[in-house]
Amino acid sequence: MTETNKKLLLSGKAAIVTGGSRGIGNAIALDLAKNGANVAINYRTSDKAAKETVKKIEAMGQKGLAVQADVSSFTDAQNMTDTVVKEFGGLDILVNNAGVNRDGVIWKMEEEQWDEVIAIDLKGTFNYIRAAAPIFKEQGSGKIVNVTSINGLRGKFGQSNYTAAKGGVNALTKTVARELGRFNVNVNAVAPGLIETEMVKQAPENVREMALAEILLGRLGQPEEVAWVVTFLCSEQARLITGEVITVDGGQYL
C-alpha cells in the first residue's frame, strides 16, 4: 500500500451501492472508490452502464463489481451481499440509493404505481439492510447510508407513493440506528433536494423554475455534492453521527 493510499478516507473498505450505475448513485460509487473503497453496484437491465462504472472504479486502482440484482427481491439482495463478501473479502459499507418515482395524484394513482415505488424504494432498502446487518453485527462495525429525499420529510403534491416510501426510509434509518448502535454500526440518511441528474435535465422548464424558487442558494445541486456527504458519513470522521437524516438541498427544505 502506498503512502497516498494510507491517507484515503476509506482505504481497503468494501462497499455496496444500489442503483450505482447512473445519477446520484453513480457519483456515490465513484467517490467512494476515489477515497479508497472497493465498490459493488447492482443493475437490473442497464448492463452497459454498470460495466462502464466498474471500469471507472478499476481505473482508480480499486476493485469494482457489477451484479445483476433486483433490489425489490429479498433473495437477490441476499445473494448479491454474499457475492460481494466472497469477492471483496468482507463488507463495511452499504449505501441504499436505488429508487424510482411513478407520480400521480392520489385519486388517479393506480395500484401498480403504488406497489412498484414501495417495493423498490422502501422494501429494497430493507432487503439490503437485512442482508448486511448480521455481517455488521458480528464484526462490530459498519456504515449504512440511505438516500431519501426532502419530499419524504415534507410531502409533495402528486407523489404520495414516493413520499410515503422515502418517509418510511427515514423512519427505518432511525430505528436501525437504535438497533445496531450497540454494535458500533452507524446508520444515517441523506435527503437531497432537486439534483441536476439527466432525468431532471429533461424535466419541463416550469418544474425546474419552481424548484429553483425554493432553493436558498439559487441553483440545483450536483450529484457529486450528495456523494461527498455520503463518503463523509461512511468514514471514521463521522463515527459519532448516527440516526440522522441530513438534507443536501441548498436550503430547499427550509
45: amino acid identity, one letter: T
> Which one from 43, 128, 162, 253 is the annotated catalytic residue?
162
Query: Cα dist. 86→155, 233, 245 in Å?
Result: 40, 25, 31
3-state secondary structure the chain: CCHHHHCCCCCCCEEEECCCCCHHHHHHHHHHHHCCCEEEEEECCCHHHHHHHHHHHHHCCCCEEEEECCCCCHHHHHHHHHHHHHHHCCCCEEEECCCCCCCECCCCCCHHHHHHHHHHHHHHHHHHHHHHHHHHHHHCCEEEEEECCCHHHHCCCCEHHHHHHHHHHHHHHHHHHHHHHHHCEEEEEEEECCECCHHHHCCCHHHHHHHHHHCCCCCCECHHHHHHHHHHHCCHHHCCCCCCEEEECCCCCC
Cβ-contact 29, 57 below 8 angstroms: yes
Annotated catalytic residue 162: yes
C-alpha cell at 42: 447492482
65: number of Cβ within 10 Å: 20
* Residues catalogued as catalytic: 162
